[in-house]
Amino acid sequence: MRGKNIRLLIILGALSLIGFSAAQIYWVRAAFNQEQDHFHRQVNAALNQVATEFYRYNNISSPSTSPIRQLAGNYYVVMVNSPIDANLLKNLLTKAFEKRDIITDFEYGIYNCDTECMVFDEFVSPAAMPTLGALDNLPYWNETNYYFGVYFPSKKSYLLNRMEIWMFTTLVLLVVFLFFGYALFVILKQKRLSEIQKDFISNMTHEFKTPISTIAVASEVLQQPKIVEEPERLLNYATIISKENKRLKGQVERVLQLASLENDALELDNTKVSVHSIIAEAVAQFSISHTQGKIGSIPNAKNDVIIADKHHFMNMVYNLIDNAIKYSNNSYNITIKTTNQNNQLILSIADEGIGISEADCKLIFDKFYRVSTGNLHNVKGFGIGLSYVNLMVKEFGGKIKVESKIGVGTTFIIRLKNAE
Q: Is 59 within 8 Å of 201 (Cβ atoms)?
A: no
* Residues 235 and 317 placed together within one structural domain of the fold: no
- In the predicted model, is pLDDT for residue 175 greater than 80? yes
pLDDT tens by residue, 64-92: 788 888 888 888 988 887 777 788 888 88
Residues 131, 23 share a domain: yes
392 with 279, same domain? yes
For residue 100, pLDDT beyond 80: yes
pLDDT in tens, 113-144: 666 666 677 788 865 544 434 444 444 444 44
Check if the beta carbon of residue 91 is closer than 8 Å to that of residue 49.
Answer: no
Q: What is the pLDDT of residues 7-18, one digit of tens each?
A: 888 888 888 888
Instruction: Print the domain residue range for 321.
Output: 270-417
CATH code, domain with 361: 3.30.565.10
Angle, CA 216 vertex, CA 211 and CA 222 arms, to 5°: 125
Total domains, the chain? 3
**Residue 46 and residue 134 in one domain:** yes
Instruction: Indicate if 109 and 172 belong to the same structural domain.
Output: no
Distance in angstroms (rounded) separating the CA atoms of residues 273 and 374 = 40
Question: What is the residue-averaged pLDDT of the chain?
Answer: 81
Residues 285 and 412 in one domain: yes
Together in a domain, 11 and 158? yes
Q: Which of 217, 240, 262 is the last residue of a domain?
A: 262
Same domain, 234 and 335: no
CATH at 219: 1.10.287.130
pLDDT recorded at residue 265: 58
Task: Please say which residue of 110, 127, 162 terminates a domain.
Answer: 162
Cβ(207)–Cβ(383) below 8 Å: no
With CA atoms as reference, report the closest residue to 93 among 84, 62, 130, 34. 84
* In a shared domain, residues 180 and 256: yes
Say whether pLDDT at 53 is over 50: yes
Last residue of a domain, which of 120, 140, 162?
Answer: 162
Tell me: pLDDT of 165 over 90: no
The answer to whether 43 touches 66, Cβ cutoff 8 Å, is no
Residues 114 and 75 in one domain: yes
One domain, residues 118 and 88: yes
Q: What is the mean pLDDT of residues 170-186?
A: 88
pLDDT digits (tens, 9 = 90+) for 354-371: 888 888 888 888 877 777
- Claim to verify: residue 145 and residue 13 sit in the same structural domain: yes
Q: Can you tell me the mean pLDDT for 251-265?
A: 66
